Chain A
């Protein structure tokens, strides 16, 4: 049985004036344990809203229909308490912008240990040890010292590592990564992609990777779901999708990526200062 089975998921937002906006329409997919699914699409295609709907993080004016069964429970119909037990423990999410998804007033330690404090009974010392381990797992050097620092003392890439470490604290079975590389610069993006690949391999955790970057998808995903205007327009395994994309939107997304084999860039002959 699949770890997560989403059937006919729809999300619409009520508006005070005007008709409701359908952000996601009848999206279905399934995800097996240990697999990685990429959800790609342009901005506004409903990929983030689908993830938010799964975790019950939508604003109050959102209406969700369909079903999403995780381990036999329908995630869309859980009461708040059961949902709070599930998210952060079995299912974790990494947000797009690590500059804003960390609380500026709390030390890294406080934020890293929060999932443990919420879901596990463990002493402060134990939690601290786990937090340092988690930081080392995402390759932050000198973790024992850095754990006492505040988010603003970290660079963007390091902060994203921290949020990933935070998501992994409870060793979840499913990680939702909502555009984890979008806010980072290109070299750091590659590092984060590598890190995510290693972590999913090591822990056997399933991942839903939301992105608009076909390059990231190619590097990480087993399956790909292409979304366009709230609908799933193409769903295939990564290899066959890249070999033979069928939907025109998929093709245009691929073309939006600069070609890998391009003529080598010649450096501009410059006259140095004399």
Chain B
């Protein structure tokens, strides 16, 4: 097993590490994650504590409030870091869950085809028609508020697109001769999906996941607005941006600072995704 992994993995890792932009992006992402999870501990500052001497303060490097403060005098830098925890966790987990469900579902529908495909895709169509606000509110009233519910609700809707994309790709993959070759070896249908179809999907899935992640981070803020996500005084990037957008004219930094953090993160994810796709495709050099 170990032998196998060193042989098949190392060229991928090598190709990935040759991409400077991706390495830099990884470093930035690591810094952001590190800052979000350990920064507030290190600063030892309560994110909901008000600095009455500095209400609505624009960003200053010397005043101790790097990102400024909001109208309650709360330090925006600490709040952005704290908010990043939620956003990063939700973004990562929900993307993973949505990808897994979408890939499994789409690959099965596409490979087995015929009636199974028709039935499975009609289920997806029906899910599309259900307004997700309704489900979100329903989930909240039924199960109360919890972090895993946010992830669950978001993934419950995000996998639909992934399933469609993956199914389309699988439809063209299953007519390829190597699938016939695998069948002629006696490999069973489910094993063909796992061993032959899914590896060929990696490019599409990685790219689509990086497209999906930003939407997921922002959806979390909508859910928070509905009361399903995080509540004051806890916060997330989505919530901060939402609030900041309403005070854009008076206090633009409330929008710009958390938005810059989000954008930087998303850019980096995009670069990493691109590099991953290239690195995982053996035909790329």
Contact = CB atoms under 8 A, between A and B. Distances in A.
A87 B282 CA distance: 29
Contacts of B4: 124
A86 interface: yes
B185 A115 contact: yes
A114 B176 CA distance: 18
A7 B185 CA distance: 24
Contacts of B176: 100
Interface string A10-40: 0000000000000000000000000000000
Contacts of A263: none
Contacts of A118: 185-187, 191
Contacts of B181: 93, 95, 101-103, 163
A173 to B, nearest CB: 14
B195 A102 contact: no
Contacts of A122: none
Interface stretch (A104-112, A191-199, A218-226): A104-112
Q: What is the size category of the interface that chain A forms with chain B?
A: 35 or more
Nearest to B2: A124
Interface of B is mostly: helix
Interface string A236-250: 000000000000000
Interface residues of B, number: 27
B180 A148 contact: no
Nearest to A89: B186
B178 interface: yes
B62 interface: no
Contacts of B195: 106, 110, 114
B103 to A, nearest CB: 14
Given A60-B114, A100-B178, A125-B3, A105 B184 contact: no
Interface in B181-219: 181-188, 191, 195-196, 199-200, 202
Give the most central of B177, B186, B187, B195: most A CB within 10 Å: B186
Contacts of A104: 178, 200, 282-283
Interface of A: 55, 57, 60, 80, 83-89, 92-93, 95, 97, 100-107, 109-110, 114-115, 118-119, 124-125, 148, 150, 152, 163, 166
Given A103-B178, A104-B283, A110-B195, 6 more contacts: A101-B178, A104-B282, A107-B8, A114-B185, A118-B186, A125-B3
